Every structure is written in C-alpha cells, then in structure tokens.
Amino acid sequence: MKKNKLYSYGTVFGKVWPYWLGGILLGIINIFSLAFTGKPLRITSGFLYWAVGIYEFFGGKVADWYYFQDVYHKPVLQKSFFINDTSLLVIGAVTGALLSVFLASSFKVRKIKNPKQLIFALIGGIIMGYGTRIAMGCNIGAFLSGISSFSAHGWVFGLFMLVGVWLGVQIINKYQI
Amino acid sequence: MSEAIMAAKKEAKRRKKKNQAPWGLVVLIFAIIVALLFLPQKNLAFSWVIGLSFGFVLQRASLCFLSGFSELIITGNTSLVRAIIIAIFIGSIGFAFLQYTTLTQTSVLIGYVGPVGVHTVVGALLFGLGMVIAGACSSGTIMRIGEGFLLQIVVLIGFMIGAFWGARDYGWWHDKFIAGAPAIHLPQVMGWPLAIFIQLAVLIFIYFALLKYEEKRF
C-alpha cells in the first residue's frame, strides 16, 4: 500500500480519519437527515421498536401504552416495528460501519472475555435504555440532535450525561471494578 | 493514547491481515440493492442511505461519545469532545435554516425539541452512568457491532430491555414530571438572531475552554 498519499486507497479507507473531520461530516449528515427524512439522527427509538416488535410477536400488546399515544411515536403503530424510518437508519448505520471495517480490512469477531464483562454490558445497557425513554433520547437523539435543534433539553441532557459519566468513573475507580 | 499511535497500531494490524475489501464490495452491493428496494418509499430509502453514511463516518473516524466524555474526565484529552462540538456547531447552522424555513412556511417545528425537567436530569444521569458501566454509548454500540464485537450485541439486548421497560413506565414519568415540563425552543424564547448567536457563541466558547483545559492537564 502506498504511504502518505492524500487520496490513495490506503489513506482514505485504511487509516482512521481525524476526529475533527468526523465531527464535520457528522454535522453535515445530521443536516441531510433532517432535510431529506424530516427527522434528525436518532438511535434508541429503533432499539425500542425492535423490542416491542418481538414482544408483539409473542402476543404482547402495546397499543394502549401511554408511550404510544404520543404524537411522535403513534405513527409506528400503523407501520411495522422493524421496517420504518428509524429502524432502517439504525440498521443502515450498522451496515455502514461494517462496510468501513471491511474496506480497512480490520473486521474481526471479538469474543466476550469473561462473564463479568457480559453482566456489566447487560446492566449498563438496561440502565442506558431506561434513561433514554424518560429523557427522550440518547447521546445522538437528545444530545447531538437536541442541541442542534436549539432545544433546552439537549443542553440539560448533555450536562447531566457528563455528570453521569463522572459518577460512573468514580464508582468504577472506588470499587476497582 | 494519541491518535497517531492508535492509527499506527491499526495500520500494523491491517497489514498482517488478509485483504477484506472484496467483502466490502459485497456489503456495498447489498446496501445498494436495499436502497433500490425501498426506492418507492422515498423516506425509507433516504433513511437507509443516511444511516449507511452515519455508521461509515462513525467507524472511520472512530467517533465514540463515551471515550470522548471519559477521556475528558480521566486523561484530560478533549479532541473527541471537541469533534462532537464541531458536529453540533455545523448541525445548528443547518438546523436553524431548515427549522426557520419550515416554521415560516408550514408553521411546523421540525427537529427534536423535547420537554425539559426532572425527567431529563434523571434520564441523562442514568444514561451517563450506564454508558460507563456498559462501556458503550448508543452510537458506539452500533459501530462496535459492525466491527465484530460480540459484547456490544449484549449491550444492544440490554438497551432493548431498558428501552422497553422505560417506555412501559413512561405513563408514570409523564404524569409526575413530563406533562408539566415545558419544551423550550430557544429561538421562540429569545428570537432567531439572538438564539443562533448565543448558541454558536457558547459552542465556540466551550471549544476553546476545552482546549485550554487540555493544555492545563497535559
């Protein structure tokens, strides 16, 4: 592979792009998302829809949940929980990451190291997931897109997410987890 | 760890491994087929393509929000958080234009403007804490699954359980906090010029404050 050539395959797909470039592109993609799909970037609503879709597959009913009376979430009841704009955005993102990794030839199945890691991943995921529903978004929907939408909730979310991370770091340090 | 070392490590790893670009081509063809398949439903096709580029950029620049926030606290390296500030800065400019034009033409406010209150604080705290425990944020989870990490599939399952649980409890949170909380769209409070000016100025201030903070820590 040729080295240090600005537009060679190796520089574009083989190397990690600088963070600032990623930031610029992320901002532009978010604008495109709002302009062409009518909604900003978001993720966790997609996760919820899949969970609810599985629940309904096994006979559960969610149509009477207060959550789905919300104007924003009601439309999904008329569609599929798996084939909708948010779901496609999220699956698209996984596919895009996969594409990037393949082009850099760095795909590798990385196994879970130990049961502790597995339990932490599960518990951390549950805590995050719960948080996203009451705060209306995650680091993308509430923080990135919320602030970009000039919403006060985005700023508050960002600030307290930082506090949450700080708390988490203290706990992990204290108990040497 | 500096970006250069990380990049060098990745480079070295890549050289050792087989060329996977043909698989990339397979994924690309798959992506194009899916896009064509959804073409009749423009919104779905657009969402798919935007998702693809979103994931691609996240992975290519290894934009991990959790690393950004935790490095800010642990090592004092702010380059990732500053990149996120850049993303918000650019996003704000485009969103302002799109929001303003749709608001004046159709009087519909687009974007995410949500009610802010106790629930936002509690939810964000939980999210930050959970992020550290799980070792991933939501965009990081997506990106790592694409990279082949099995652990992030577990995080995803956790996410789905937690989001399900939270949506089930939503009625309670709504009654107690959300119903009484105002959705504050800054331009409607202080007018467009001032809101845009203040938001962009604050973002620039945070950017340089982070730079200063980083210099102090190193």
Is the domain of A30 the same as that of A101?
A: yes
Is the domain of A115 the same as that of A98?
A: no
pLDDT number for residue A12: 81
Question: Quick check: A129 and B163 CB within 8 A?
Answer: yes
> Contact B111/A144 with Cβ under 8 angstroms?
no
Distance from CA of B106 to the nearest CA of A (A): 13
Residue B163 has pLDDT above 80, yes or no: yes
Is the domain of A88 the same as that of A152?
A: no
Chain B residues touching residue A83 (CB < 8 angstroms): 44
Is the domain of A43 the same as that of A123?
A: no
> Contact A124/B116 with Cβ under 8 angstroms?
no
ipTM attached to this prediction: 0.94
Residue A32 forms part of a structural domain: yes
Is the domain of A13 the same as that of A26?
A: yes
Average pLDDT of the segment spanning B12-33:
86
User: Of the candidates B49, B60, B149, which has its C-beta nearest A22's C-beta?
Assistant: B60
Average pLDDT of the segment spanning B109-117:
96
Confirm or reject contact between A17 and chain B (CB < 8 A). yes
Q: Which residue of A has its CA nearest to B43?
A: A37
Question: Quick check: B164 and A52 CB within 8 A?
Answer: yes
Residue A96 forms part of a structural domain: yes
Is the domain of A59 the same as that of A129?
A: no
Q: Which of A61, A80, A108 is the last residue of a domain?
A: A108
Domain tally, chain A:
2
Q: Return d(Cα B128, Cα A40) in angstroms, integer.
A: 21
Is the domain of A118 the same as that of A98?
A: no
Selected residues 100-159 of chain B with any CB under 8 Å from a CB in chain A: 110-116, 119-139, 141-143, 145-152, 154-159
pLDDT number for residue A2: 44
- Write down the pTM of the prediction: 0.92
φ, ψ of residue B185 to 5 degrees: the values are -100, 110
Residue A157 forms part of a structural domain: yes
Q: Which of A108, A132, A165 is the last residue of a domain?
A: A108
Below-50 pLDDT ranges, chain A: 1-3
Residue B218 has pLDDT above 90, yes or no: no
Is the domain of A69 the same as that of A131?
A: no
Question: Quick check: B20 and A42 CB within 8 A?
Answer: no
Amino acid at B28: L
Q: Return d(Cα A33, Cα A41) in angstroms, integer.
A: 6
Residue B16 has pLDDT above 80, yes or no: no
Residue B14 has pLDDT above 60, yes or no: no
Question: Quick check: A22 and B83 CB within 8 A?
Answer: yes
Residue A24 forms part of a structural domain: yes
Residue A94 forms part of a structural domain: yes
Average pLDDT of the segment spanning B141-154:
97
User: Of the candidates A44, A156, A158, which has its C-beta nearest B138's C-beta?
Assistant: A44
Q: Which of A76, A108, A140 is the last residue of a domain?
A: A108
Nearest CA to B144 out of A121, A15, A23 is that of A121
Domain range holding A124? 111-177
Residue A162 forms part of a structural domain: yes
- Encode pLDDT of A152-173 as tens digits: 999 999 999 999 999 999 998 8
- In percent, the amount of chain B with pLDDT more than 70 equals 94
Is the domain of A94 the same as that of A128?
A: no
Q: Which two tokens stand for residue B182?
A: 């105002």
Confirm or reject contact between A149 and chain B (CB < 8 A). yes
User: Of the candidates B53, B121, B134, which has its C-beta nearest A121's C-beta?
Assistant: B134
pLDDT band, very low/low/confident/very high, at B6 (cuts 50, 70, 90) = confident
Residue B10 has pLDDT above 80, yes or no: no
Q: Return d(Cα B126, Cα A132) in angstroms, integer.
A: 8
pLDDT band, very low/low/confident/very high, at B216 (cuts 50, 70, 90) = very high
pLDDT number for residue A15: 82
Q: Cβ neighbours of residue A58 under 8 Å, at least 6 residues apart?
A: none
Q: Return d(Cα B53, Cα B61) in angstroms, integer.
A: 12
Is the domain of A147 the same as that of A64?
A: no
Confirm or reject contact between A172 and chain B (CB < 8 A). yes
Question: Quick check: A122 and B166 CB within 8 A?
Answer: no
Residue B7 has pLDDT above 80, yes or no: no
Residue A2 forms part of a structural domain: no
From the candidates B32, B159, B198, which should be mutated to test the interface with A, based on the most A CB atoms within 10 A?
B159
Q: Which two tokens stand for residue B125?
A: 């705290």
Mean pLDDT, rounded, of chain B: 94
- Encode pLDDT of B76-91 as tens digits: 999 999 999 999 999 9
Is the domain of A119 the same as that of A101?
A: no
Q: To which H or E segment does residue B10 belong?
A: helix B3-16
Q: Return d(Cα A151, Cα A145) in angstroms, integer.
A: 9
Nearest 10 degrees: Cα torsion A74, A78, A80, A86 = -40
Is the domain of A62 the same as that of A81?
A: yes
Residue A127 forms part of a structural domain: yes
